[in-house]
Structure 1
Amino acid sequence: MRKAYLLTDEKILERAAELGRGGSTAVTAILISCDDSVKLVVANVGDSRAVISKNGKAEQLSVDHEPNMEKEIIEEKGGFVSNLPGDVPRVDGQLAVARAFGDRSLKKHLSSDPHVAEEVIDESSDFLILASDGLWKVMTNQEAVDEIKDFKDAQAAAKHLTEQAVNRRSKDDISCVVVKFHC
């Protein structure tokens, strides 16, 4: 997963002229069947998040890469983290995450190395939510789990979460995937 994230970042940077100077966060998940068990591997950069529901309880599997958390590393690379009143901390006064794909102008101060977590999928595992920060800025992990716990259809659950984020006046991008277990 780490290699795939680094390769993705390289490809985005190679095409920066046609793609533009911006960047992106990401969260991905892979289910691996091993003998008698199933393992979930989750990776992310930035503030796109993975949350699993186990017996109705939300557990965050990813890490939101906030600039303050990596301030020392950013400063060692020659960058800075701004903390202006009324705003979120930003790398070089611009980007609100410390890890991302692309963002060529900030790349020397950013990382695309993902946080990787593993989780065993068992009978207590209900579903997985993979979503961008547009959902998480207006809804807690547990609120998201509670909103869709009775949905049978994963696509309908994801649509419901995005609609709830819009209804709560999210100002950021909203993308969401729900993976149901034991259907």
Structure 2
Amino acid sequence: MCSLLARIAMACWRPVGRYACMSKDDSVNNDDDSSLGDSLLWSKDLEKHSYGEFSFAVVQANEIIEDHSQVETGRDATFVGVYDGHGGPDASRFICEHLFENLMKLSRERGTISEEILRSAFSATEDGFLTLVRRTCGIKPLIAAIGSCCLVGVIWRRTLYVANLGDSRAVIGCLGRSNEIVAEQLTKDHNACLEEVRQELKSLHPDDSRIVVMKHGAWRIKGIIQVSRSIGDAYLKRPEFSLDPSFPRFHLPDPIRRPVLTSDPSMYSRVLQANDKFLIFASDGLWEHMTNQEAVEIVYNYPRTGIAKRLAKTALKEAAGKGEMIYDELKKIDKGSRRAFHDDITVIVIFIDHELLSENISVPEVSIRGFIDTVGASKFNILHGI
């Protein structure tokens, strides 16, 4: 663990570009009494997108952060991506660098955005990463065991499109008939802990009695992995990428006859209605510590500024309590060691201001990458004229 001085030093970070103001946690606009922020918590409190405002926060737990994420704002559209990696950061980083570009290329070629085009962008990203695995597995064989969940949302022409692989989650907050806020989950969790997913796997692999196995207190596909859909995880999709017994954690005693994981996303779309107030896109690091309803009530009942950070801190306080400590004590635990108490956490809250949906509001075309402090011009301008 780092000393107190080291933790303070970690909180000092380089300036960013001219597009936005981002900061590591400085304990502003929160309920903490502590004057020392959390050096592993990055946030962007409030910025504009085409249809309202958004808030963004990321917490690091692993020695090398495996969550990658982005928000792309354009004149006519908004893109959100949450990529929760496992086995390493290679797949989630690759998705962050390529999926949005693939979507823009396909949208420009076909003159629209649709579920089909979003699905094709996922397929192109999977193909690209497997090509990278094939090219590099000779010198880095474990890249075949690296994968990532992938959650994407696009708002374009009053329509929301969502595509999902894995157990990150998109939730919408809607006003009910009694003016109360109600959570609606827009995505399916592709996780073997769910009976529905286990039955799906068994029906797809009737000749494999060990397609799902209880191991280390959880249902796992082939006794190894919990998520049933992902980008990457090449060794569970193609026999050519099987790992030998020198990597026992990822070794399959029998070659796979067909892929046991898929990169085909579940899709969802809806025309946004007046009672749709905001969206929460988050990795499972958030959802393991709060319910959908708890999350939307926090967003609805507190100020917009810093709301993603508030959600992340609420999850961290819950994690601290489970570890029989308070959040101030958890903040003193360094990356790597923090993974014993919580996962990497990504939270993006997208507010929907309906009066802007029919107006031509000028907002900066900005690309923001979570935690890594990258801010620049977005490539959304290629959508102009579609």
User: What's the TM-score bracket when you normalise by the shorter of the two chains?
Assistant: 0.7 to 0.9
Helix, strand or coil at the partner of 1:58: strand
Query: Using the alignment, how far apart are the partners of 2:229 and 2:300 within structure 1?
Result: 31
Residues 1:24 and 2:148 are matched in the alignment: yes
Of all paired residues, the percent bearing the same amino acid is 36
Aligned to 1:45: 165
The secondary structure found in structure 2 opposite 1:15 is helix
Q: Which amino acid aligns with 1:141?
A: N
Q: Residues 141-180 of structure 1 correspond to what in structure 2 (within 5 A)?
A: 141-153=292-304, 156-169=306-319, 171-180=342-351
Q: Alignment partner of 2:218: what SS?
A: coil
Point out which structure has higher relative CO (alpha carbons under 8 A, 6+ apart). 2
Q: Distance in 1 between matches of 2:207 and 2:125?
A: 22
Structure 2 residue 237 is matched with structure 1 residue 120? no
CA distance in 2, matches of 1:88, 1:153: 37
Query: What does the per-residue CA deviation read over 1:29-87, in whole Å, with 9 as the maximum and x for residues that have no partner?
Result: 11121xxxx11111100001100001110000000012341322552585611124x62
Instruction: Name which one, 1 or 2, has greater alpha-carbon Rg.
Output: 2
Cα deviation, 1:122-166, whole Å, max 9, x if unaligned, reads 210110000000111111100110111134436x11111112222
Shift of 1:105: 1.3
Aligned equivalent of 2:205: 75
1:90-118 deviation digits (Å, cap 9, x = unpaired):
11111111101111111221001001011
- Whole-angstrom CA distance in 2 between matches of 1:152 and 1:30: 24
1:89 corresponding residue in structure 2 = 219
Q: Secondary structure at the match of 2:342?
A: coil
Alignment of 1:54-69 (within 5 A): 54-55=174-175, 56-67=181-192, 68=195, 69=197
2:157 maps to 1:6: no
| Conserved? CA contact 1:74–1:80, under 8 Å | no
Whole-angstrom CA distance in 2 between matches of 1:4 and 1:73:
28
Q: CA deviation at 1:25?
A: 0.4
Residues 136/77 of structure 1: CA separation in 2 closer, same or farther (3 Å cut): farther
Contact kept? 1:158, 1:178, Cα under 8 Å: yes
CA separation in 2, counterparts of 1:93 and 1:39?
39
CA–CA separation in structure 1 for the residues paired with 2:269 and 2:207: 30
Change (3 A) 1:152 1:181: farther
Give the Cα separation in 2 of the matches to 1:11 and 1:151: 41
TM-score, length of structure 2 as denominator length = 0.43
Give me the whole-angstrom Cα distance separating, in 1, the residues matched to 2:161 and 2:207.
30
- For residues 122 and 152 of structure 1, the distance between their equivalents in structure 2, rounded to whole angstroms, comes to 22
In the superposition, the TM-score normalised over structure 1's length comes to 0.87
Tell me the secondary structure at the aligned position of residue 52 of structure 1: strand
* Kept after mapping to 2: 8 A contact 1:42/1:118: yes
Indicate how the Cα distance of structure 1 residues 30 and 88 shifts in structure 2: closer, same or farther if over 3 A, else same.
Answer: same
Superposition CA RMSD, Å: 2.1
Match of 1:123, as an amino acid? Answer: A
State the AA in 2 paired with 1:94: I
- Partners of 2:311 and 2:130 lie apart in 1 by 32
- Determine the C-alpha separation between the residues in 2 that align with 1:3 and 1:110: 18
5+ residue gaps, structure 2, are 1-117, 176-180, 238-258, 320-340, 355-386
Judged with a 3 Å threshold, the aligned counterparts in structure 2 of structure 1 residues 124 and 76 are, in CA distance, closer, same or farther, namely same
